[in-house]
Structure 1
Amino acid sequence: MEAVPPRIRVAAYVIRLAAASPELLVFDHLDGRARRTTYVQLRLAGGPAGGWTHRVAGDGKDDGLRFACRFTPLPLATRLADHQDEFLDRIHP
């Protein structure tokens, strides 16, 4: 059996400073493939209220994937998929 190489990705912690508490941009998508992840932190002033759908456009195999996006208050009430919250304790909004 041939080994499937991990998918290389960058995960950005996008933090929005809201009135009540800092909020983290989260999205729902699982494909079950192994990943090698680099994390970065971004800060955002403002941004849309509520959620939205993002559709990937391009000529690669991710073309057409859809992500349900929203900001959620920190600290998180539940864990993020695929352990993507593993470095949130190092964030200082």
Structure 2
Amino acid sequence: MCNPYAAGMRELTLRIRVAAYVLRRRAGRSAELLVFDHDADLPPGTHVPAGGVAREEPLEEAVLREVAEECGLTCVRVLRPLAEEHTPHPIRRFPRHTTFFELEVDDDADVPDAWDHHVTGAGRDNGMTFHCRFEPLPLTFPLADGQDAWLDRLQA
């Protein structure tokens, strides 16, 4: 997929974003989804890694960067894009174009079931602490901001 900035979608108020459905698959268990909660004044609830795309940044690189910045995981790979949606920000209402991706934790990675991560990067959430964990699919609760809209497309 190309970065919509490069495709001429340059409305000043449009925010180009990516969102990550990071799956962990272990023998004898259902697939698990990486989610996090936070103590900040961001939209409340449980989230998946997601965030803005820099100009000229390929979407696959952006989604890997967001997972690393928000959850500290670098042992993941992009499997495929799942969906694109146009929705307003839940609080500030500016328009957003979000591409959702399916990712997978590397088979040989030793990742804990839950951990706290101090967010890095240039976004508003820099320095915040996110409480990360893997949840079995199907989820028994909704994700914040409608982020669960495309879970049924996963190859879980």
With structure 1 as the length reference, what TM-score do the two structures score? 0.77
Larger mean Cα displacement after TM superposition, 70-79 or 50-59: 50-59
CA contact (8 A) 1:16 1:43 kept: yes
Equivalence for 1:24: 33
Tell whether 2:89 aligns with 1:34.
yes
CA contact (8 A) 1:6 1:34 kept: no
Off by >4 Å, runs of 4+ in structure 1: 5-8
Alignment of 1:58-73 (within 5 A): 58-73=121-136
How far 1:58 sits from its partner (Å)? 3.6
Count of matched residue positions in the alignment of Structure 1 and Structure 2: 89
Letter of the structure 2 residue corresponding to residue 51 of structure 1: A
Q: Hey, what's the Cα distance between the residues in 2 that align with 1:27 and 1:84?
A: 12
Q: Hey, what's the Cα distance between the residues in 2 that align with 1:42 and 1:13?
A: 6
How far 1:7 sits from its partner (Å)? 5.3
Larger mean Cα displacement after TM superposition, 45-54 or 10-19: 45-54
Q: Which among 106, 117, 120 is matched to residue 54 of structure 1?
A: 117
Letter of the structure 1 residue corresponding to residue 149 of structure 2: E
* Structure 1 spans left out of the alignment, 5+ residues: none
CA contact (8 A) 1:7 1:34 kept: no
Q: Hey, what's the Cα distance between the residues in 1 that align with 2:118 and 2:14?
A: 23
Q: Hey, what's the Cα distance between the residues in 2 that align with 1:6 and 1:65?
A: 25
With structure 2 as the length reference, what TM-score do the two structures score? 0.49
Q: 1:38 to 1:88 in 2, by over 3 A?
A: same
Tell whether 2:144 aligns with 1:75.
no
Identity %, equivalent residues: 49
Equivalence for 2:151: 88
SS at match of 2:131: strand
Higher strand share: 1
SS at match of 1:67: strand
Higher helix share: 2
Q: Hey, what's the Cα distance between the residues in 1 that align with 2:35 and 2:123?
A: 23
Q: Hey, what's the Cα distance between the residues in 2 that align with 1:50 and 1:90?
A: 24
Q: Hey, what's the Cα distance between the residues in 1 that align with 2:150 and 2:100?
A: 8
Q: Hey, what's the Cα distance between the residues in 2 that align with 1:10 and 1:38?
A: 5
